[in-house]
Structure 1
Amino acid sequence: MLRLSKRLEMIAKQVPEGSRMADIGSDHALLPSYLAERGKISKAVAGEVNLGPYQAAAKQVRDAVLGSLIDVRLGDGLAVIQPGEVDVITIAGMGGALIAAILEAGQDKLAGVSMLILQPNVGESFVRTWLLEHSWVLIREQILEEDGKIYEILTAVPAQHTELTNGQLYESRILGAGITANEELQLKLGPYFLQEPSAVWFHKWKLELDKLEMIRGQLARSSQQETRSKEQLIESEIKQIKEVLACLQKDKASFN
């Protein structure tokens, strides 16, 4: 039986029993193979845009004798599936902007899809924004650290499949100390994470602050006038994130 990384195992746990799934950017088709071996899915499409990973996925499926359940296809994004063919789509291990672009380009393939399970390596706000703008509701956010990297897993369903509305999810709320979490801030930091921040989430944003401080330092050394406005934007972002982290850490400490 296949074993998965903690990241892929967490994604696998989100896939409902009996699903017809499409795993886009499937690499070695590990995720659908794992689920198929355990009888958790009824059918899967493993999509790959590059020939090498496509061949690796096809070999994995052949070697595991799972060809009756998993169809490995070569193609770009959601072009590998037909409308109504699957009800769950997983896209993991690429940038958030690319995931959003894949969903945007393949909107006609989302008919009948009841769940998106998305794991951007960076740029999570691009994914949240796309979901919000296209009437998908984020129902779960998860975060984990593995091998020195931090991953977020975002699970969403169509608006008609949940009583929760995006208006409710992203409604502005006071975090404490006069700090308001508006829609923009929640799209960046995650609405569920802001409600229940974990140690891994705090660690992620401390690392992000380090990156922003480095960028600010580079901008400060530049003599070009146009960098001043960029530097001010970075400073404002750093200040905002620091205030949120300090507020939430204080709340967490007082709760504990």
Structure 2
Amino acid sequence: MIHLSKRMQALANLVSSCKTFCDVGTDHGFLPIYLVQSETCERAIAMDLREGPLDRAKTHIAEFGLSGAIETRLSDGVAALSAGEADAVLIAGMGGNVTIHILTEGLDVCQQLKELILQPQSEIDEVRKYVFSQGFVLVSEDMVEEDGKFYPMMKLVHKSQLSEEEYKNLRTDESAPYTEAELLYGPMLLASHHPVLMKYLKKDLKREETILSKLPDLDEERILTRRKIVENKIQLLQELLK
């Protein structure tokens, strides 16, 4: 069995048993290999925008004897994936704006998935705003720390794939609009006081307190505005850590 990093293992754990899994931006191809080896999915499609990473993925897939179960495709986002072809799609390790671009360009494909798993490297609040505005519903969240970096991740499904009863049982941005804090840090992570998120919030609080202590004690409008922003952030973090 292939060994995954802590971040990759957490992503793999979010994938439900399925027939076909698709990894967008597969790079080395390790995640599709693991999911087929573990029999989480019957087959997988490993896609990447660049030929170099795709060639590396092909080599690794062949080394594990899985060329018959894992197909590789050169693709910009999900452009090379047909609607209904995969049950689950993973988009991880990319910036938030790139993630939103991929989702926007492939919205028809993503809306028909049984699950969509995202792990943006930045602008995660903007990603959350976008997916919720497009009718995606949050199913679960997780967060891990690896090598001093924090990685929040989420699993979603489009409301069109849910029965009326299933939809009612899940919180949505329509039934209870998400707060600014929930968009920033993750509604389920906050609700569960996820230990990794709590560690991140404490680290963030220390950083903001340091910034505040170093601001010059001047009455300039620019400094006063900056001070107010930092003080508000500190207050928010203190409330979330209660």
Q: Describe the superposition over 1:139-185 as per-residue Cα deviations: whole angstroms up to 9, x where unpaired.
A: 111112222222212011112423314147745xxxxxxxxxx6222
Tell me the residue number matched to 1:196: 192
Query: Contact 1:169–1:191 (CA<8 Å) still a contact in 2?
Result: no
Structure 1's 51 and 221: CA in aligned 2 closer, same or farther, altered over 3 A?
Answer: farther
Measure the CA separation in 1 of the matches of 2:56 and 2:218: 46
Tell me the residue number matched to 1:208: 204
TM-fit CA distance, 1:205: 1.4
Measure the CA separation in 1 of the matches of 2:217 and 2:103: 39
Query: Contact 1:96–1:121 (CA<8 Å) still a contact in 2?
Result: yes
5+ residue gaps, structure 1: 172-181, 248-256
Q: Describe the superposition over 1:19-55 as per-residue Cα deviations: whole angstroms up to 9, x where unpaired.
A: 3111011111100011112322122111111232122
TM-fit CA distance, 1:190: 1.5
TM-fit CA distance, 1:223: 10
Task: Calculate the aligned-residue CA RMSD, in Å.
Answer: 2.6
Measure the CA separation in 1 of the matches of 2:56 and 2:136: 32
Q: Describe the superposition over 1:56-108 as per-residue Cα deviations: whole angstroms up to 9, x where unpaired.
A: 11211122221222111122111131222112011112233322222122112
Query: Contact 1:170–1:183 (CA<8 Å) still a contact in 2?
Result: no
Count of residues in correspondence between the two structures? 236
1:187 maps to 2:183: yes
* Structure 1 outlier segments of 4+, above 6 Å: 221-224
TM-fit CA distance, 1:216: 5.6
Structure 1's 81 and 240: CA in aligned 2 closer, same or farther, altered over 3 A?
Answer: same
Tell me the residue number matched to 2:59: 59
Q: Give 1:101-112 correspondences, 5 Å limit.
A: 101-112=101-112
Tell me the residue number matched to 2:114: 114
5+ residue gaps, structure 2: none
Tell me the residue number matched to 2:82: 82
- Point out which structure has higher relative CO (alpha carbons under 8 A, 6+ apart): 2
- Name the SS of the counterpart of 1:186 in structure 2: helix
Query: Contact 1:170–1:191 (CA<8 Å) still a contact in 2?
Result: no
Q: Describe the superposition over 1:178-197 as per-residue Cα deviations: whole angstroms up to 9, x where unpaired.
A: xxxx6222111221122111
- Name the SS of the counterpart of 2:79 in structure 1: helix
1:166 maps to 2:162: no
Q: Describe the superposition over 1:203-252 as per-residue Cα deviations: whole angstroms up to 9, x where unpaired.
A: 1112223444566678759998556545533332232222322x2xxxxx
TM-score by length of 1: 0.80
TM-score by length of 2: 0.85
1:243 maps to 2:239: yes
Query: Contact 1:96–1:120 (CA<8 Å) still a contact in 2?
Result: yes
Q: Give 1:77-156 correspondences, 5 Å limit.
A: 77-156=77-156
